[in-house]
Amino acid sequence: MHLPKDLRDLIRTDVLLAPFTTFGIGGKAKYFAEVSTRPQAVSLFRWAVDEGIPVFPIGTGSNVLVADDGIGALVVRLMDDADFGRVDFGDEDG
């Protein structure tokens, strides 16, 4: 796995997700990142697509149930202070 320099401090591995959910349950995420800006989110999503890694956004973790076995994906937590009212993943034709 190639991790770009600008993401090295952002992505963590094998992070327990229970503290990030309102129910306080769940296993680990293979990859985990907390983002507060759109450029961070775009860089993360591009990296995950390039590496063939599924992405699982959890927002603030409300009403999310995570299996004890965890998630073999990049879990992206959108920080409370972030403005993610709309995220565009590409054009409608593609």
CA nearest 41: which of 2, 74, 73, 5? 74
Give the β-pairing of 28-35 and 71-78: parallel
**pLDDT averaged over the chain?**
84
> What's phi and psi for 49, nearest 5 deg?
-65, -45
Element (H, E) at 42: helix 38-51
Task: With 0.75 as the threshold, say if the pTM is over it.
Answer: yes
Give the β-pairing of 12-16 and 28-35: antiparallel
pLDDT per residue as tens digits for the range 7-50: 888 999 999 999 988 889 899 999 999 998 888 888 999 999 99
Q: What is the mean pLDDT of residues 61-66?
A: 83
Strand segments (E) across the chain: 12-16, 28-35, 55-57, 71-78
* Predicted local distance difference test score (pLDDT) of residue 94: 47
